[in-house]
Amino acid sequence: MRPTATARIPEPRIYVDVHILQTVPPANLNRDDQGNPKEAFYGGVRRSRVSSQAWKHATRKHFAERVPEQDLATRTRRVIAALADQIKDGTELGDEPALRLAEALLSQLDLSVGKKKGDTAYLLFYGRRQLDAVAALVRDRAQELAALDDDALADIVKTMAVREKFSTGHPIDVALFGRMVADVPSLKVDAAAQVAHALSTHAVELEFDYFTAVDDQQSDEETGAGMIGSIGFNSATLYRYATVGVHQLLQNLTEGETAIHAVEEFVTSFARSIPNGYTNAFAHRTLPSLVSVVVRRDQPVNLVSAFERPVSAIAGANSSGIAAESARRLAREHLQAIANWGDTPAFTAASHTYMDAPKTGEALQEAFGSPVPFPKLLSGLRAHLTDSLKQAAQ
């Protein structure tokens, strides 16, 4: 059926899938309620798992190393207190009058108030520039407003564009990861990025590091350790997956160049970040052995089914290691999905370290093309997205 003249034609969908293989030494990246590394049962065996929340947090922290602080978001219950600090900046208001103005402004959002003064009942994810824009609504007349009684102040702030300031000008981390405010639907921002739980490609057993600490001031008559304890750990080759809906990102950011920049920052920070649980005890930071980017127009495709049958140590020994065998499995799964469903990606690129493993290197080249350094992967992705958005605009 042809669309009618008034029917809305959907915007072109563009999904950027990111597939990563990363081998981590003994570590406890993301602990459960018992303090042990998180796990999952998949393919009939116990796997190492790192939650999507843990890696999204690590990705956001990595953003902070690359993006100016004012262009990022923060997540806190103390948004009222933070707004009061912004109002005080450049005015002569004291703590109490500034807090009163902040409460009056944010009352327009109908946010549930927390038990502690200056807190909301839940974490609010907002941009620093957004909060500064709200403070600017009253900063020039702060003294005048602070002198009003509660009713008069409420009447004035009702006319101010507080909700609008929080609904526009989103920083890239809010645009990517979204915002959910259950009791204020108008503040909702649909996430452009989805991040899967990282999962080991093979079976993993939980181990424990028993440790003792020596009391440096212990006398010769005293024996034993000053402290004893144990830390759970494991080691694993992890399959990590995330996808970014560029069309949703465009809605959140409204400008094509900004959206492409956000995709670049996300791919970079997702690839280079790692959760820092017990990092001083294990020094577990590694870089991925494989990063593949696939641009699709149909739907996101997680390739974790490549590892439903766990990679074994024996299979790994026959292919230069578990990581190399995992890479071959990933390449095969990608090609099989294309052959079975007929959905050829619009763009593929891969950066990996398997050039010296002939079988693995050949499989990866067939699936994702010739390997390129990571910076070239990013530049190729940028060029493709730039052309795609130009064509969509025509």
Q: How far apart are CA 50 and CA 46, in angstroms?
A: 13
Please report the pLDDT score of residue 196 as a whole number: 98
| pLDDT tier, 222 (very low <50, low <70, confident <90, very high otherwise) | low
Asked if pLDDT for residue 33 goes beyond 50, the answer is yes
- Over residues 279-305, the mean pLDDT reads 95
Please report the pLDDT score of residue 1 as a whole number: 42
Q: How far apart are CA 25 and CA 207, in angstroms?
A: 12
Please report the pLDDT score of residue 215 as a whole number: 66
Q: Which helix (H) or strand (E) holds 56?
A: helix 52-66
Structure tokens at 353: 């370290």
Please report the pLDDT score of residue 2 as a whole number: 45
Please report the pLDDT score of residue 93 as a whole number: 85
- Over residues 267-275, the mean pLDDT reads 97
Please report the pLDDT score of residue 4 as a whole number: 43
Instruction: Quick: pLDDT tens for 316-352.
Output: 555 578 999 999 999 999 999 999 998 899 999 999 9
Instruction: Quick: pLDDT tens for 375-388.
Output: 999 999 999 999 99
Whether the CB-CB separation of 244 and 263 falls below 8 Å is answered with yes
Its sign, for the CA torsion 347, 351, 354, 358, is positive
Highest mean pLDDT among 103-112, 125-134, 244-253, 352-361: 244-253
Q: How far apart are CA 43 and CA 64, in angstroms?
A: 37
| pLDDT tier, 358 (very low <50, low <70, confident <90, very high otherwise) | confident
% of the chain surpassing 90 pLDDT: 51
Q: What value does the mean pLDDT of the chain take?
A: 88
- Over residues 247-255, the mean pLDDT reads 91
Please report the pLDDT score of residue 361 as a whole number: 93
302 versus 167: the higher-pLDDT residue is: 302
Instruction: Quick: pLDDT tens for 120-177.
Output: 887 888 888 888 998 989 888 888 888 888 889 888 988 898 888 888 888 899 999 9
- Over residues 255-261, the mean pLDDT reads 92
Structure tokens at 286: 């590694």
Please report the pLDDT score of residue 272 as a whole number: 97
Please report the pLDDT score of residue 169 as a whole number: 84
Instruction: Quick: pLDDT tens for 35-89.
Output: 899 999 999 999 999 999 999 999 999 988 888 887 888 888 888 889 989 888 8
CB-side neighbour CA atoms (13 Å) of 371: 20
Please report the pLDDT score of residue 69 as a whole number: 81
- b/e per residue, 232-266, with b = 16+ CB within 10 A? bbbbbbbbbbbbbbbbbbbebbeebeebbebbbbb
292 versus 185: the higher-pLDDT residue is: 292
Rounded to an integer, what is the distance from CA 57 to the centroid of its chain?
6
